[in-house]
């Protein structure tokens, strides 16, 4: 009994230390968003109560077109999420259920783009979008983010669909369901946790992207929140208070989204851990 209690104590102590280390930067970020630049530059980790202020958030929301940047982020990330879930599920269903020639090679090539640093494919993407006339457009950014997140979604969903018994498909087909009917009525409800994982991954990558948006977006009408944070820096001074406040504003939507899909997300991530 004492040994069991000691093991639990050590386990929880280790978890507390681990989470403290992981959450310390986030805690510092949130606290710093309520501090002035002078307070942050003192180097003190914990500020005095008199140093806390809402000025940073007031200045962030006072920036011209900040709500345009926010709307652009929401529109682009949400569109990418739905496109990735729709196209990824269709591709994964085909790879899972049909006897395609060279299926294994196709699966390997699906993940091949993930091995390349994004900076290496940045120029080809710009040239492609320029030739298509999609530079500085929402569609160009949506297609770019979809293309860099879709391979992982297809690979992950294919593995999940493989774990769904094919007898369910056959029973639905015998009852008169079409292939699309099987997908929407059988596969989607069964694979909902995996679809949530794919959608959440696409949303987070699109929401936080700076590299591609900095090249493909050339006006405020298509710029997103990560680009807006650059406005808080200039050659003479870095406004750390506004940067931390803007960062908190940028991560709040993803945290809210995570809180809404947390149960499905965890179920999707752990679905392949145990084989029935």
pLDDT in tens, 154-188: 988 888 888 888 888 888 888 888 888 888 888 88
pLDDT (average), residues 73-102: 90
Give the pLDDT confidence score for residue 276 in this predicted structure: 45
**Does the pLDDT of residue 197 top 70, yes or no?**
yes
Give the pLDDT confidence score for residue 163 in this predicted structure: 84
Give the pLDDT confidence score for residue 255 in this predicted structure: 84
Q: Is 233 helix (H, G, I), strand (E, B) or coil?
A: strand
Fold of 63-273: MetI-like fold (1.10.3720)
Q: What is the distance between the alpha carbons of residues 140 and 134, in angstroms, rounded to a whole number?
A: 5
Q: How confident is the model at residue 67 (pLDDT cuts 50, 70, 90)?
A: confident
**Length of the chain, in residues:** 276
In what helix (H) or strand (E) does residue 24 lie, and over which residues does it extend?
helix 2-32
Give the pLDDT confidence score for residue 1 in this predicted structure: 63
Other beta carbons within 10 angstroms of residue 157's beta carbon come to 27
Q: Is 35 helix (H, G, I), strand (E, B) or coil?
A: strand
Give the pLDDT confidence score for residue 273 in this predicted structure: 45
To the nearest 10°, report the CA torsion of 11, 13, 14, 17. 160
**Does the pLDDT of residue 272 top 60, yes or no?**
no
**Does the pLDDT of residue 201 top 60, yes or no?**
yes
**Percent helix / strand / coil, the chain, rounded to 5:** 80, 0, 20
Number of H helices, E strands in the chain: 14, 0
10 Å CB burial of residue 169 (0-12, 13-18, 19+) is buried
10 Å CB burial of residue 33 (0-12, 13-18, 19+) is buried
Q: Are 172 and 185 in contact (CB under 8 A)?
A: yes
Give the pLDDT confidence score for residue 82 in this predicted structure: 95
Q: Is 73 helix (H, G, I), strand (E, B) or coil?
A: helix
pTM: 0.83
**Does the pLDDT of residue 274 top 50, yes or no?**
no
Q: What is the distance between the alpha carbons of residues 169 and 146, in angstroms, rounded to a whole number?
A: 28
User: Radius of gyration over alpha carbons of the chain, in Å?
Assistant: 23
Angle between helix 66-97 and helix 103-111 axes, rounded to 10 deg = 160
Q: What is the distance between the alpha carbons of residues 167 and 161, in angstroms, rounded to a whole number?
A: 12
- How far CA 77 is from CA of 23, 72, 135, 158, 202, in Å, comes to 25, 8, 17, 23, 7
Q: Which residue, chain included where needed, has tokens 């499905």?
A: 264
């Amino acid at each position: 009994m004492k040994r069991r209690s000691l093991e639990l104590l050590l386990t929880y102590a280790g978890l507390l230390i681990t989470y403290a280390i992981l959450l310390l930067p986030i805690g510092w970020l949130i606290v710093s968003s309520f501090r002035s630049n002078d307070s942050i530059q003192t180097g003190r980790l914990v500020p005095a109560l008199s140093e806390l202020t809402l000025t940073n958030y007031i200045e962030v929301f006072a920036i011209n077109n900040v709500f345009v940047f926010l709307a652009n982020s929401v529109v682009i990330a949400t569109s990418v999420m739905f496109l990735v879930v729709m196209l990824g599920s269709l591709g994964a269903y085909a790879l899972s259920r049909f006897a395609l020639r060279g299926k294994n090679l196709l699966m390997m090539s699906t993940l091949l783009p993930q091995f390349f640093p994004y900076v290496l494919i940045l120029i080809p993407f710009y040239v492609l979008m320029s030739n298509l006339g999609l530079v500085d457009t929402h569609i160009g950014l949506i297609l770019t983010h979809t293309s860099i997140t879709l391979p992982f979604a297809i690979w992950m969903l294919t593995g999940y669909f493989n774990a769904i018994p094919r007898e369910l498909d056959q029973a639905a087909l015998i009852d008169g369901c079409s292939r699309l009917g099987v997908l929407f009525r059988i596969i989607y409800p069964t694979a909902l946790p995996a679809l949530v994982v794919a959608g959440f991954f696409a949303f987070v990558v699109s929401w936080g992207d700076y590299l591609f948006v900095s090249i493909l977006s050339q006006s405020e009408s298509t710029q997103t929140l990560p680009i807006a944070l650059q406005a808080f820096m200039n050659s003479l001074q870095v406004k750390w208070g506004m940067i931390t406040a803007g960062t908190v504003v940028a991560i709040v939507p993803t945290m809210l989204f995570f809180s809404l899909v947390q149960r499905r997300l965890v179920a999707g991530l752990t679905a392949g851990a145990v084989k029935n």
